[in-house]
Chains A and B, each alone.
Chain A
Amino acid sequence: MTLPELLLPVTVLLPLGMAALILAVSHILPPRIADIAALAVSLAVMLLSGWLASVAMSQSAPVMHWFGGWSPGAHGSGNLILGIAFRADPVSAGVSAFVGLLFSAAFVFAWSYFDHIHSHFQVLMLLFLAGMQGFCLTGDLFNLFVWFELMSISAFALTAYPLGQSALDGAFNFVVTNAIAGFMMLGAVGLVYARLGTLDMVYMGQLAAERGADPVLIAALVLLAAALLTKAAIVPFHLWLADAHAVAPSPVSVVFSGAMVSVGLFGFMKLLLLVFSKDAAIITLAKPALMAMGGVTAIVGALMAWGQRHLKRLLAFSTISHLGIMLTGVASLSSEGLTGFALYLLGHGLVKGALFMVAGIMLALGASGDEIMLYRQGRRWWPAGVVMGLGGLMLAGLPFGPLHGGEEMIHHAIGHGPLFWAVSFATVLTGAAVLRATLRIFAGLSGAPGVEASAPTELERERADRPFALMLAPAALLIALAIILPASLAEASGQGFAVMSGLGSLAELAPPAAVPWTALSTVGLAILIAGLSLLRRRPTARIARTMARAERAPFTALEYVHSGLVGDYVVWTAVGLAGLSMWIGWQ
C-alpha cells in the first residue's frame, strides 16, 4: 500500500480519536490544551486532504482505501464488493481540505469561548469535522448515511448550545426536519440496495447504467434528492436553515453556512454524477425539476435575505439563495456547471465564513446582531466593517477569486433563459442586503428602514472574552483567500471532476471572460439598491405610503411561510417530496 493510501483513513480516524481522547480526560484537561489539540487536528486534516487531492490529481486516479483489506476479490469474494472504500478523488479531497480550513478558522475564532463546558464543544466539533470528512471521502452509500447522521447529531447539539428559547426552538426544528431527511435517505439506501445489490457508488453506477429507467431507482433518486436537498436547504426543504443558523453560536454558524449545507449538496452531486447520471432516462426526468428548484431557491432566499434585520438571519437566507445558485450548476451536469459549482462552493464558504465571523464580532462587542439597533455602533471596529463590506461586494459579484469564477461558469452552463436572470437577481440582492447592513452599522448611513424593519429579531449577545484582533484575524484571512485564490483553480477542478467520474477528460473549459462587464454591472446594481434603500425617507405622502405597503406585501407573505413552526416545516417537506415524485416519477 502506498503512503497516500495508508493516510487516507487518517482524515476521519484522527478527529474521531482525538474527540474520544478529549472526552475521556475532559475533567482534568486544561481548556487551552483542548483548544490547541482541536486546532492542530483540523489543520492536520486540512493539509492531509489537500495533499491527497494533489496526489489524486497527479496520478489521474482517485486514492483508494479498502477498510479491513476487503477490496473487491479479496478473500475469494469474486466480483462481489463486500467492504467499504474511501475514494479520494481530487474534488472530494479538495472539498475536505476546504472543510478543514474552515474548521481551523472557526477554532481560532472560538478560542476560549467555550471554556466552561469541559471541552464538550471541541469534542462535538471534532466529531462534526470527522463526519464531514467521511461524507466527502466515502465511496459507499450506507457509509455516506453514517457520516451524514454523525454530522447531523453533532450539529443539533451545537445549535442548541446557547439554551435560550429561540436556540432550543431552532435546534428542535433542525432535529425534526433533518431526522425526517435521515429516514428518507435510509429508505433510499434500502431501495437502491434492493435493486442493485451493492452499496459501492461507482459499482452502483455501472449496474444502474445496465438497468435503464427503473421505478425503484427513480423512487430512490426522489428520496435521496428530498433528503440531501433538506441538508442543502433547497426550497421547499429549506425552512429549518434560517432558524438553526441564526441561533447557533457564531463559530458554529461559520461552519454551518460555510460548509455543512454546501457539503450536503456536494454529496447529492456526487450521487447524481456517479450513480444516476449513467442512466440517461432518469437524468432527463430529474434535470428540469432540479433546475427549477434551484432557480426558485435563489429568488426566495434572496428576497428573504433582503427583508431581514438580524445579521445572522440575513446571512442564513443569503446562504439559501446561494445554494439555489449552486444547485442550478449541479443540475446542469455539464463540466462547466460542475466546475462552477465546486468553485462557487469554495468561494461562498470563504466569504460566508468571514461574514458570520463579523456577525459574531458584533454580537460579542456590539452586544447585538440587529442591523438597525447597531446603527453607527460599528465605527470603533471599522476593520470588521472592511471585511464585511468586501464580503458584500464579493457576494454581489466582484470579479475576483473562486466565487466569481464559479458564478461565471454556472452562467455559461445554464445559458440565457429565466434561470440566468434568477441567478443574477439573487447575486445582486444578497450582495445589496449585506452592503446595506454594512453601511448602516459601520458607515452610519441610514434613512428610514424599509421592509427589514418588520422582520423578526433577537435581543442577544455573545461572550466578549477574547481580543478583537483574535476574532478579526480568521475573518480577514478567509476574505483575503476568497479574493486572491486564482481562477486557475477552474482548470484543476475540471480535471478533478474528470478523475472523479472516471472519464478520461471533460471537454475543454472556456476561461471566464477577460473584462467581466456583467460582474461589474451586478456589483453596481447591488451598490445602487443598497444606497437607495439607505436614502429612503419615512413615507409621508399618500402615494409613498401605498408604495411602501405594496413593497411589504410579498415579504409578509414569505415571512408567513417561514413561520418557525415545525409542523409547517414537516408539511412543506411532504409537499416537496410529493412534488418531486409527481414531476420525476410520472413522466
Chain B
Amino acid sequence: MNAKARLSLLFIAFALLLPGIWSLAHALPPFGFPTELYGQAVNDIVPGLRHVANMITAVNFDVRGIDTVGEEMMLVGAVTGTVMLLRGSRGEDASDRADQKRGRPVIPRSDALVLMSRLSASIVMMFGIYIVAQGTETPGGGFQAGVLCATSFILIYLGDGYAGWRRLIPSPVMAFLEGTGGFVFVAAAAFPLFLGKAALENIIPTSDFRSMISGGMMILGNFAVTVAVAGSFGALMVEFMEETREPSEDDPAEGDGDEVDETQ
C-alpha cells in the first residue's frame, strides 16, 4: 500500500469506530463519580492490618503483590533483551572511549564539576534510599527509588567520565544487582510457602502504624525492587554508552557468517 491508501484506509477505520466510541462514552459512569468499593475497602482494612499509610504501596506489594512480581520481572526481561540485542553486534568488552566521538578532543573535566558530581551523586543515592525506606508511609517506593539510585550512577559518569565510572562499577555488577534484586523479590514471595502459608503472605511483624519499619514484607519487596531497578537502569546505561563503539571484527552474530541474513 502506498502512504495515501494507507492513510485513507486508517481514516475510514477510525470513522467506523466513532459511533462505537460515542455509545461507549455515554454508557460509562459519569466523570469523577465514585463508584469503586475497592479503594474504600483497602482504606478501611489495610492501615489497621499492616500499619502502613501509603495505600498504593500496600496494594502493589501486598494485596496485589503478584502483579508487581510480574511487572518487576518484565523490567528484568526487557533490560536483558535490550542488553542481549545491543551486545550482539559488538561483544561485551568495555572500551575506555565508549562515549567519545573519534577525532574529537577529550577535554578534562574541571575539578569543580567532579566534586559537585560526586557530592550530588551521594546525595541522590541517599535520597533514593530514603524514598524506599519511607515507601510504606509517604509517596514513593521501590521503582522510584531504584530510578533515583540509577541517576546517581549517571552523576558519577558526569564527573569521572566513562572510564572512571566503568572502573568503579564493572558490567557484571549491574547484572548481579538486577538478578539479585529480582531473585530476592521472588524468593520473598515464595518463602511463606515453606511455612504452609500463601505466597506473598505477610509473615514479618508489621511494627507500629507509620513507623519506618511498618508493613513487614512490603519493605523487603520494596528494597529488592530498588536494587533490581537500579541494576537494570545501570545496565541499560552501560549498553547505550557502549553503542557508540563500532562493531569489532569477530562479532558473534554477524562477523563469522553464523547467521548470514540477506533478503534476496
Contacts and interface: CB of A to CB of B under 8 A. Distances in A.
Interface of A: 1, 6-7, 9-10, 12-13, 16-17, 19-28, 65-70, 75-78, 80, 82-84, 116-118, 120-121, 123-124, 127, 130-131, 134, 142-143, 146-147, 149-150, 153-154, 156-158, 160-167, 191, 194-195, 197-198, 214-216, 219, 222, 456-463, 563, 565, 567-568, 570-571, 574-575, 577-579, 581-582, 585-586
Contact of A65 (B14, B20, B49, B199): B199
A113 to B, nearest CB: 10
> Taking each of A76, A77, A163, which has the highest tally of chain B beta carbons within 10 Å of its own beta carbon?
A163
> Taking each of A6, A16, A149, A219, which has the highest tally of chain B beta carbons within 10 Å of its own beta carbon?
A16
B151 interface: no
A77 B253 contact: no
B190 A582 contact: no
Contacts of A162: 253, 259, 261
Contacts of A156: 81
Contacts of A570: 10
Contacts of B181: 20
A483 to B, nearest CB: 33
Interface in B72-92: 73-74, 76-78, 80-85, 87-89, 92
Contact of A1 (B9, B180, B198): B198
B93 interface: no
A165 B199 contact: no
Contacts of A78: 41
Interface string B36-78: 1110011001000100000000000011111101110110111
A445 to B, nearest CB: 24
27 contacts: A1-B197, A13-B190, A17-B187, A23-B175, A26-B175, A65-B198, A68-B62, A69-B197, A69-B201, A77-B41, A117-B88, A118-B175, A123-B76, A124-B77, A127-B73, A130-B73, A149-B74, A153-B81, A157-B82, A163-B85, A164-B262, A166-B263, A167-B261, A191-B28, A214-B27, A216-B24, A586-B19
Q: A-side binding surface: helix, strand, loop or mixed?
A: helix
A32 to B, nearest CB: 18
B106 interface: no
> Taking each of A456, A571, A577, which has the highest tally of chain B beta carbons within 10 Å of its own beta carbon?
A571
Nearest to A572: B9
Interface string B229-259: 0000000000000000000000011100011
Contacts of A565: 1
A527 B199 CA distance: 53
A9 B76 contact: no
B112 interface: no
A68 B46 CA distance: 13
Nearest to A363: B259
Contacts of B190: 9-10, 13, 17
Given A16-B73, A69-B198, A215-B24, A577 B80 contact: no
B160 interface: no
Contacts of B71: 146
A157 B76 contact: no
B172 interface: yes
Contacts of B83: 120
B264 interface: yes
Nearest to B35: A197
A404 B101 CA distance: 62
B165 to A, nearest CB: 18
A80 B37 contact: yes
Contacts of B88: 117, 161, 163
B32 to A, nearest CB: 13
Given A13-B190, A80-B38, A68 B199 contact: yes
Contact of B17 (A460, A461, A581): A581
Contacts of A22: 179
Contacts of B187: 17
B69 A25 contact: no
B6 A24 contact: no
Contacts of B107: none
Contacts of B27: 214-216
B67 A142 contact: yes
Given A6-B196, A19-B182, A68-B199, 15 more contacts: A17-B187, A21-B179, A22-B179, A24-B182, A67-B66, A78-B41, A84-B64, A131-B70, A149-B70, A164-B254, A215-B26, A215-B27, A458-B262, A574-B14, A585-B23
A27 B193 contact: no
Contact of B6 (A219, A568, A578, A581): A568
Nearest to A465: B258
A75 B49 contact: yes
Contact of B28 (A76, A160, A194, A458): A194
Given A27-B175, A147-B70, A20 B63 contact: no
Contact of A571 (B9, B69, B193, B201): B9
B173 to A, nearest CB: 9
Nearest to A215: B27
Given A17-B187, A21-B183, A80-B41, A578 B24 contact: no
Contacts of A83: 63-64
Contact of A456 (B42, B175, B185, B263): B263
B76 A19 contact: yes
Contact of A24 (B14, B45, B74, B183): B183
Contacts of B179: 20-26
A157 B84 contact: yes
Given A67-B199, A75-B45, A197-B37, A10 B193 contact: yes
Given A24-B183, A116-B252, A194-B28, A68 B65 contact: yes
Nearest to B36: A197
Contacts of A26: 172, 175, 179
A17 B74 CA distance: 13
Nearest to A5: B198
B202 interface: yes
Contact of B259 (A28, A150, A214, A461): A461
A66 B65 CA distance: 11
Contact of A124 (B38, B84, B171): B84
Contacts of B253: 162-163
A154 B81 contact: yes
Nearest to A584: B20
A143 B70 contact: yes
A101 B62 CA distance: 32
A134 B3 CA distance: 40
A219 B24 contact: yes
